[in-house]
Structure 1
Amino acid sequence: MNTCSTPGATRGGDDDPYFVEETKASSELTVGWRKMEHSLQFESRLANPMVGSILTMVFDDIEDLRSKDDRSAIVIAGQGFPISSFQRGRVFQDEQSMEEALTHPEKHLGPVPGGKGSPGRMNAKGISVFYGATDDHTAIAEVRPPVGSMVVTARFDVIRPLRLLNLNDLASMRPHRGLSYFNPIRRSLSERCAFLKDLQRQLTMPVMPDSAESGYLITQAIADFLATHEKLNLDGILFPSVQVQQDTSPGQNVILFHKASGVERLEDTQKAEYVSLWEPDEDRWVYYPEFWEAEPKDSDQSSRYVPLVPPPEPSLRLARDGIVIHKIQGVRFSTEIDPVHYVPWSKDRKYHGFR
C-alpha cells in the first residue's frame, strides 16, 4: 500500500486549523494483505484462515468510523431513503429472445438462478447474486453491449431496508474527532483509515478479461466474508463503475448478496398473457413493444414443489411499468494518448532507455 494522508484535522476544518495529520497505512495490515493475496492465489482459495483473520482486522467495527461530514460507510437502501431502487440491464442480440424474456421479466431480467451464474467481481461461479446500478446509464455500460444489440433495463424497487457498504466512502473515513491526537488508539485508527483509502482504490481498479479469474479472487473473498459477517449484517456493497467516467455519471454499481437478491413474482403463474414488439398501422408495422399482464391465478399450495433449501426472502419487486429497450447505435471511448517515440538508426546514438 502507498503512503496516504488521513485528514484528522485539516486547514479550514473543524479542529485545529494549523495542524494536518499525515498517516501511513498500517504496516501490519499492508504486509498481512499481501500475504493473504499470495495465499489465495497459490495456496488455498476456500478454507483459508488467513483470509478471515486479515479481513476481520480491516472491516470489524467499520460502522463506527465516520467521514469528516459525519457520514458512515454503511448506508440504508429502501423506500423513504435516497436509494430506493436499482436498475439492471441485459443484452439481447435478436428480437425473438428479447420477446421471450418479456413473457416473464422477473425470471429473465432478474438474477440468474443458483448454480448457473458465471463468476463476477463479487461472486464465485454458481452463486446467485443481484448485480445492478443506481441509473440506466451505468447499468448499460456494465453489460458492455456491442453496437447493433439491444439492452433491456428494468427498475427493481427495494421493498425492505437493506444495509449496504459503500466502497466510495472508504477513502474518506477518519477516527472520531473527539480522540486526542496523542492517543495511541487514534494513531491505530488513522493507520487503518489510511489503509482503507488505498484499499478502496485497489478494489475498484479495472480487471482485464484475460486475468479475471485471478483478479477477482480478492473481491470475491471480501464479498463472501461480508455476506456472512453476523455483526455487520450487510446485504450488499455499493461500488463505483469502472466502465463509466465518474465525472459523466453519478451512478454506482451494487451487488446484493444471495440472501438479499430475492425477487417477487417468480412463479410460473405470473407469466404475461401476451407479448409483442410490433403492431400494424395501416400498411406498415410500427415498433411498439408491450406486454399484457395475465389474469391473477390462485396457485395450488398443496401441489407446489418445496425446495430443500428455500429461496431468499424477496427484497426486490420489478416495476413492470419501468422496463425500457435501448437500441445500441454507438459506443464512446475515453482514452489517454501516449505517442510511441521513434528513434532512427545513427552512428551518433550514445544510449537508450530512460532520458
Structure 2
Amino acid sequence: MDQGAVDELKAKKLCHACVGEAYLSGEIAREGKRVKCSYCGKTRRCYSIGDVAERVQVAFEQHYVRTSDQPTSWQYRLMSDSESSYDWSRDGEPVTDAIANAAEIPQEAAEDIQQLLEAEHDDFDSAAMGEESEFSGDTYYEEKGTSDRVWQEEWRNFENSLKTEARFFSRTAARHLASIFDGIDDLRTSSGQPSVLDAGPGTDFHAVYRARVFQSRDKLEEALCRPDTHLGSPPASVAAAGRMNARGISVFYGSNDPKVAIAEVRPPVGSQVAVARFEIIKPLRLLDLTALTAVTVTGSIFDPDHAGRMERAMFLRTLTERITKPVMPDDEHFEYLATQAIADFLATESSIPIDGIIFPSVQAAGDVLNVVLFHKAARVEAVTLPKGTEIRARTGHMEEEGWEDDYEVVEEVPPAPEEPAAETKPKSGWPNFAALAALPWEPHDPDWRDVSLRVVIDTVTVHQVRRVEFETDEFIVTRRRWKKHEPDF
C-alpha cells in the first residue's frame, strides 16, 4: 500500500456510537472531535481511524498473541497417522475478526485498521521468505493468558534484599510493597467480598480468642487474676518475634476459634493453656488475606493500565500462600523477614489505614482464621476494680484422694467508704494546697494508643494439654542396591 492510500485510510473517522466496547466508546465520546463518521454517516464525536489503529495495536500487544501458522510436531504425527481422523486448524480467529470483536466495531472499520497495521509492520525480507508479519491479512490472533512472572521475580528480589542487603530503611522494599498494597481496599472477589473488611462493634468480626501457654502454676494464677494484662498483647520488653512482628514490637495475635488459638501457641504436653475471648470495642480495618485468593479485576483491554492490574491481581492470589506458608523453627529468623516487613509497612506506611491482618491458620484445617492486630490496635482495656481490691487465684486443692483441679479467682474488695461530711468552702479563692498534697500520686500512663480490646472475664478457661495429635502424609522409603561396574578403557 502506497503512502497516499495509508494517509487516506488514517484520515477516515469512526464515531463513538459505532464502537460497542464501552471503555473505548466512552473515551471517544469525551475526547473526540465532532465530525461526520465515515461508517454511519452521522455527525458525532469521532476519532480518526489512525488513532483507533494505534489503540488497537497497544491493546493487542498487551492482551493478544499471534498463533502459529504451522502444526506442532505432535499434530503432524496425528495428521500423518492413517488411522487418525485428526484435522488440524489454526488456533484463534482471523485478524480482522479479532479486531472487530475486540473493539466491537463494523467489519469495514476493522478491515481498514488491519490494512493500516499491516502496512506499518510490513517487512520486505520476511515477505520474500514467505513469513507472516504482524497484522497481515492471513494472520490469526487469540487472547493470551495473564502472567505474574514479573511480580514473582520482584518478590524474590524483595525477599533477598531483606535477607542480604538492607533490613531496615530499605526504600526499594518500601516501593515494592507500595506497588502491591496501594489501593488494595478497592479490590473485590467475584462474589463482592472486600479485601479490607471492617471489624469491631456492629460487624460480623467483633471478637477474637487469645491463648497463652503456662508451665508454671504461679504464673498461671497471676494471669487468671489479671487476664487483661497477662492474656493480652505482651509488653514490648518481652515481645518475641513472630510471623507478623519483629522482636520488641508488641502485637495481638488471636483466632476466631478457641481451639485454633490453642493450636497456634504449640503447647507442650503437660502444660496448661489459658484462653480468653476479647471483644473488639473500636472500629478497625483489617486486610483479609483469604479474600486476596479470589480477587478479580474487570476492565477493558483498551485501558493501558488494565494489563498491569490483571497481573497484580494474579500475583495477589498467590500472596496469601507465600505469607502463611509453614516455617520451620530453625528458619524463622530469616523466613519471617518478609512478613514482618509487610506488617510494618501496612501499620505505618500504607496509603490506606490498616489496623491488622486476617490470615488462614497453618496449624488447623477448615474454615478458621487467625488475626494479628498491629501495635497501634493491640491495647487491651484495663479491668475495672475498686481501689484497694486484692485478688487471689487458685488452681486446685488437696482432697483425701489427692490433688483436685479447681480453678477459681477471688476478688476481695474493701468495704464501701462512709459518705464524707460536706466541706465548707474556704473563704479565700486560693486552692487547698494541703488537701492536694494529701492526694495519692499516680504515675502518668505513657501509652498513647486508644483502647481497642476488652477481655470478657467470664470466658476465661484453662486447658490441660494431655496429648498432641498430628495429621501426616506417610511415604514409604524405597531402598535399592546396584552392583558397580568397572569402566572399560
C-alpha deviations, 1:95-138, integer Å up to 9, x for none? Answer: 23211221211111111112321111111110111111111111
* Alignment match of 2:371 (pick from 240, 244, 254): 254
Query: For residue 306 of structure 1, what is the aligned residue in structure 2?
Result: 444
Does 2:287 correspond to 1:287? no
Query: For residue 200 of structure 1, what is the aligned residue in structure 2?
Result: 320
Query: For residue 25 of structure 1, what is the aligned residue in structure 2?
Result: 148
Does the CA contact (< 8 Å) of 1:272 and 1:291 recur in 2? no
Does the CA contact (< 8 Å) of 2:182 and 2:350 recur in 1? no
Where do 5+ consecutive residues of structure 1 fail to align?
A: 1-18, 351-355
**2:279 partner SS:** strand
Does the CA contact (< 8 Å) of 2:320 and 2:359 recur in 1? no
Does the CA contact (< 8 Å) of 1:104 and 1:270 recur in 2? no
Query: For residue 91 of structure 2, what is the aligned residue in structure 1?
Result: none
Query: For residue 338 of structure 2, what is the aligned residue in structure 1?
Result: 218
Does 2:445 correspond to 1:323? no
Q: How many residues are treated as equivalent by the alignment? A: 324
Quote the Cα distance in structure 1 between the aligned partners of 2:374 and 2:439. 28
* Alignment match of 2:297 (pick from 175, 198, 201): 175
Task: Report deviation, 1:186.
Answer: 2.3
**Structure 1 residues 301, 136: CA separation in 2 closer, same or farther (over 3 Å shift)?**
farther
Quote the Cα distance in structure 2 between the aligned partners of 1:76 and 1:301. 43
Q: CA RMSD in A?
A: 2.8
* Alignment match of 2:359 (pick from 239, 242, 260): 239
Where do 5+ consecutive residues of structure 2 fail to align?
A: 1-141, 418-437
Identical pairs, percent: 39
Quote the Cα distance in structure 2 between the aligned partners of 1:331 and 1:24. 42
Query: For residue 42 of structure 1, what is the aligned residue in structure 2?
Result: 164
* Alignment match of 2:237 (pick from 110, 115, 129): 115
**Structure 1 residues 311, 112: CA separation in 2 closer, same or farther (over 3 Å shift)?**
farther
C-alpha deviations, 1:146-175, integer Å up to 9, x for none? Answer: 111111101111101110001111111111
Does the CA contact (< 8 Å) of 1:26 and 1:194 recur in 2? no
* Alignment match of 1:345 (pick from 479, 482, 489): 482
* Alignment match of 2:286 (pick from 164, 175, 199): 164
Flag the structure with more relative contact order, 1 or 2, with Cα contacts below 8 A and sequence separation at least 6: 1
Does 2:207 correspond to 1:85? yes
Task: Report deviation, 1:212.
Answer: 0.5
Quote the Cα distance in structure 2 between the aligned partners of 1:319 and 1:333. 31
Does the CA contact (< 8 Å) of 2:211 and 2:276 recur in 1? yes
Does the CA contact (< 8 Å) of 2:245 and 2:343 recur in 1? yes
**Structure 1 residues 213, 114: CA separation in 2 closer, same or farther (over 3 Å shift)?**
same
* Alignment match of 2:258 (pick from 117, 132, 136): 136
Quote the Cα distance in structure 2 between the aligned partners of 1:271 and 1:235. 34
Does 2:177 correspond to 1:55? yes
TM-score w.r.t. length of structure 2? 0.61
**1:303 partner SS:** coil
Quote the Cα distance in structure 2 between the aligned partners of 1:20 and 1:349. 57
Task: Report deviation, 1:49.
Answer: 0.4
Give the letter for the 1:261 counterpart. Answer: A
* Alignment match of 1:274 (pick from 392, 407, 413): 392
**Structure 1 residues 196, 164: CA separation in 2 closer, same or farther (over 3 Å shift)?**
same
Does the CA contact (< 8 Å) of 1:65 and 1:175 recur in 2? yes
Give the letter for the 2:193 counterpart. Answer: R
Task: Report deviation, 1:287.
Answer: 2.6
Give the letter for the 2:324 counterpart. Answer: T
**Structure 1 residues 211, 340: CA separation in 2 closer, same or farther (over 3 Å shift)?**
same
Does the CA contact (< 8 Å) of 1:26 and 1:192 recur in 2? no
Does 2:198 correspond to 1:76? yes
Give the letter for the 2:464 counterpart. Answer: K
Quote the Cα distance in structure 2 between the aligned partners of 1:270 and 1:132. 32
Quote the Cα distance in structure 2 between the aligned partners of 1:217 and 1:270. 45
**Structure 1 residues 32, 284: CA separation in 2 closer, same or farther (over 3 Å shift)?**
closer
Quote the Cα distance in structure 1 between the aligned partners of 2:267 and 2:144. 45
Does the CA contact (< 8 Å) of 2:181 and 2:350 recur in 1? no
Task: Report deviation, 1:201.
Answer: 1.2
Larger Rg: 2
Quote the Cα distance in structure 2 between the aligned partners of 1:170 and 1:301. 55
Query: For residue 36 of structure 2, what is the aligned residue in structure 1?
Result: none
**Structure 1 residues 272, 173: CA separation in 2 closer, same or farther (over 3 Å shift)?**
farther
TM-score w.r.t. length of structure 1? 0.83
Query: For residue 247 of structure 2, what is the aligned residue in structure 1?
Result: 125
Higher alpha-carbon deviation: 218-227 or 192-201: 192-201
Does the CA contact (< 8 Å) of 1:104 and 1:272 recur in 2? no
Quote the Cα distance in structure 2 between the aligned partners of 1:259 and 1:159. 14
**1:119 partner SS:** coil
